[in-house]
């Protein structure tokens, strides 16, 4: 049986839809069960239900052979694993956002700009590449408040519909990357279980219309 780490939370429903379309439906509704490991109906895959931020670790360490993870999480964690397939769902953008009156041209290069983010590494690297000194505060959620109430000048966060930014009076200032859900595979498992993983990739690719 292949083990696949699946992120709980907002992408789980779409992941489950994709697995069903690929003929790999879980034996139980993953959004309803309290079990953390659930086999597929066909018996070829066992799903591990884990926090989105932990999914790459399970795959990197070989506890799971493969998994689904958002590109935003992968950019933040830089895990050592293969990323063979863009699954095409959970599309969003990683952006720099802030109050509309702030313009990046106005950054004071002599005193660090303050950034609040769930993605401190992405934020640090982005501003470093631009040559702008930055102090990055790591938050765990509700990041927008950071920029609204002055903890930070900007936030680095994902935007999907744009509603959260809009409803908090913030705007996108720059786009860092376009993100979506990716199939990730453990390096050793890819070679040791090549046939099974290729087959899985083919089923998923057929279901998404992507090329493996």
The reply to whether 11 sits near ligand PRP by the rule CB under 6 A is no
157 near ligand PRP, judged by CB under 6 A: yes
Q: How far is CA 28 from CA 4, 35, 40, 88, in A?
A: 15, 9, 8, 24
Is 161 a residue that touches ligand PRP (CB under 6 A)? yes
Rounded to the nearest whole angstrom, what is the least distance from the CB of residue 168 to ligand PRP in the complex?
9
| CB-closest chain residue to ligand PRP | 141
Report angle CA 121, 125, 131 to the nearest 5 degrees: 150
Q: Does 141 interact with ligand PRP (rule: CB under 6 A)?
A: yes
Q: Which of 37, 142, 202, 206 binds ligand PRP (CB under 6 A)?
A: 142
Question: Which residues, in sequence order, are CB contacts of 143 under 8 Å at separation 6+?
Answer: 116, 117, 118, 155, 157
* 164 belongs to the binding site for ligand PRP (CB under 6 A): yes
Tell me whether residue 90 or residue 159 sits nearer to ligand PRP (CB atom).
159
120 lies in the binding site for ligand PRP (CB under 6 A): no
Tokens of 120: 């401190």
Of the chain, the end-to-end C-alpha distance in Å amounts to: 21
Q: How far is the CB of 144 from ligand PRP (least distance, A)?
A: 6
Residues 126/147, Cβ–Cβ less than 8 Å: no
> Which residues lie near ligand PRP (CB under 6 A)?
141-144, 157-164
């Amino acid at each position: 049986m292949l083990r696949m780490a699946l992120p709980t939370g907002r992408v789980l429903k779409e992941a489950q839809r994709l697995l069903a379309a690929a003929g790999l439906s879980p034996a139980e509704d993953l959004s309803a069960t309290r079990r953390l490991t659930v086999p597929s109906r066909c018996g070829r895959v066992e799903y591990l239900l884990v926090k989105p931020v932990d999914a790459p670790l399970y795959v990197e360490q070989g506890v799971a052979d493969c998994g689904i993870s958002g590109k935003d999480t992968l950019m933040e964690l830089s895990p050592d694993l293969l990323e063979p397939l863009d699954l095409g769902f959970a599309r969003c953008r990683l952006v720099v956002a802030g109050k509309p009156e702030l313009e990046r041209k106005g950054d004071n290069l002599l005193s660090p700009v303050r950034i609040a983010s769930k993605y401190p590494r992405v934020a640090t690297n982005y501003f470093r590449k631009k040559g702008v000194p930055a102090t990055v505060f790591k938050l765990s959620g509700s990041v927008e408040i950071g920029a609204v109430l002055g903890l930070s000048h900007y936030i680095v966060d994902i935007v999907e519909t744009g509603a959260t930014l809009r409803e908090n009076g913030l705007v996108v200032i720059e786009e860092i990357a376009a993100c979506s859900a990716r199939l990730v595979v453990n390096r050793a498992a890819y070679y040791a279980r090549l046939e099974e993983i290729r087959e899985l990739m083919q089923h998923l690719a057929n279901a998404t219309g992507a090329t493996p």
